[in-house]
Structure formats: structure tokens, C-alpha cells
Amino acid sequence: MIPKIKFRKMTIEENIDIIKCFYFSNNDFLDIKCYMMILFPELKNIDKTLSKKEVYKKIEEVVIYNYKENEKKIEQEVKRYDIIWSKYNDIYMNAISDYLNIDWSNIDIIDASIGLIPVFPRNLDNNSFSLSIGISEDALIETCAHETLHFIWFQKWKELFPKCSKEKFNSPYLQWQYSEMVVDPILNSDDIKRILPIKASAYDSFYELKDGKDNVMDNLKIIYKEPTSIENKIINGYNYLCKVLKNNKR
């Protein structure tokens, strides 16, 4: 069994909740607030003396107005995204399963909600991720491949590291950072590039990480090109990142 991505319109309540969460978030690897202010410039000048409840009320007003203005566009994008991704869904899901040497297990549907959001969060508990409108075809293919990779990647991770707590699958833990970094070497591997006509990238901040004079990402790519099993690549890459982190703390 392989999963299908099911695109749907995000509810207005879901959209409000995501923006509320982002407004008070703090992620060192991704400047969510910067992207959010571009999407909702009305939130730039919220009075800093307002209570959290008052800020939430302002966010609700802004999101509701913009959501209703763009509701038809959201519905159109649900259809467009489905047409684009349907050409790649089955072949990609099979290829990434083969690459990581693990079945999709009990995942049959991956929920992809579409609304007005600055970045695209995923939820491992319910196999879902979210998208915004206005994404180009290449960006949509990359995003769908990127986000769905996380679901099967962490299945593989649990197989290799069964004692790892689920908490560490999220920011800021190294296990989360690693899962975001491997997007580049895995999705740009020969096996995956044969079927996806895109160049995949990790978050910009990960390309700035240094190991002495070397770029950490460059060394990680070398590890993933080694003629060895995927299990060895995953473990060797993780051990390398642990070493880099330890050296950088000295």
C-alpha cells in the first residue's frame, strides 16, 4: 500500500489557529514571523501593549478578512494542486519507500490542507501538512515530496533508533534538524531525480553550518553518495552531525 495526498480547503478556523501559533513562535532555523508579515502586513503594527487575548482577536479579524477575499482562489488551488501532483504521487511514494528500504506501513492518506499560511507545517501524529496558495508547479512538487518524506523518514528512524522519543522529531532537536537537512541529499539523489523534475533544497540556514572550513551540508551529501546501505548512510550522517555539534560547543 502507498499513500495518496488528499488536497482540501483549510477551514477558516484551522487557518486562524495556524497564524496564532506562528505569531508567537520562535524558530532559530526559519524566520516564520518575517514570512508571516509579508503575507499579512496588517499584523506588522499590532500594539505591543495589547494582551495575548487582544492580539488573538486582531489576528482573527485579519485572517478572516483575507481568507474570505481569497476563498475562491483557495478552492481553485485545491483542484490545480491535485492535477499537478497526481502525475507523481504513486511513482514517488514507491521510489522513496525503496530508497529508504521501508514500507509505508499503515499510512494510506496524507492530508494536505490549503489556506493562507507563511510556511508549511506538518503533523506526524495525523499524517498531515499544510500549504498556501500561489505555489508554482515546481515548488508544489518539491513541497509535497519534502513534506511526505518526513512521514516515512521518521518511520525509518524509529526502526533504527527505537528508543528515540517522539518529542525529538520536532524543532529544535538535532533529530529534527537532521530530518530537514537530508531533504537535499535524498530528493536530489539519482533515484529520486529520475522521477521528479525539480531541484530540492533544505532551509537556507542549514547551508550556513560549518565544520571547520567545510560546509556541513557538503559533507552530508558526500556521506549519502557513499556505496553503502541506506541504513549506514543514515547512521553515518547522524554520527557526523553529532560530532560537529560537539566540536562546535567546545
The predicted-structure confidence for 48-68, as pLDDT tens digits, reads as follows: 778 889 999 999 999 999 999
pLDDT tens-digit profile of 100-138?
999 998 899 999 999 999 889 899 999 999 999 999 999
Contact (Cβ atoms closer than 8 angstroms) between residue 142 and residue 198: yes
Q: Which three cell numbers stand for residue 146?
A: 519534502
Q: What percent of the chain stands above pLDDT 70?
A: 96
pLDDT at position 6 over 80: yes
**What integer best gives the mean pLDDT of the chain?**
93
Reported pTM: 0.91
For the chain, the structural domain boundaries read 157-248
Q: How many C-beta atoms surround the C-beta of residue 111 within 10 A?
A: 14
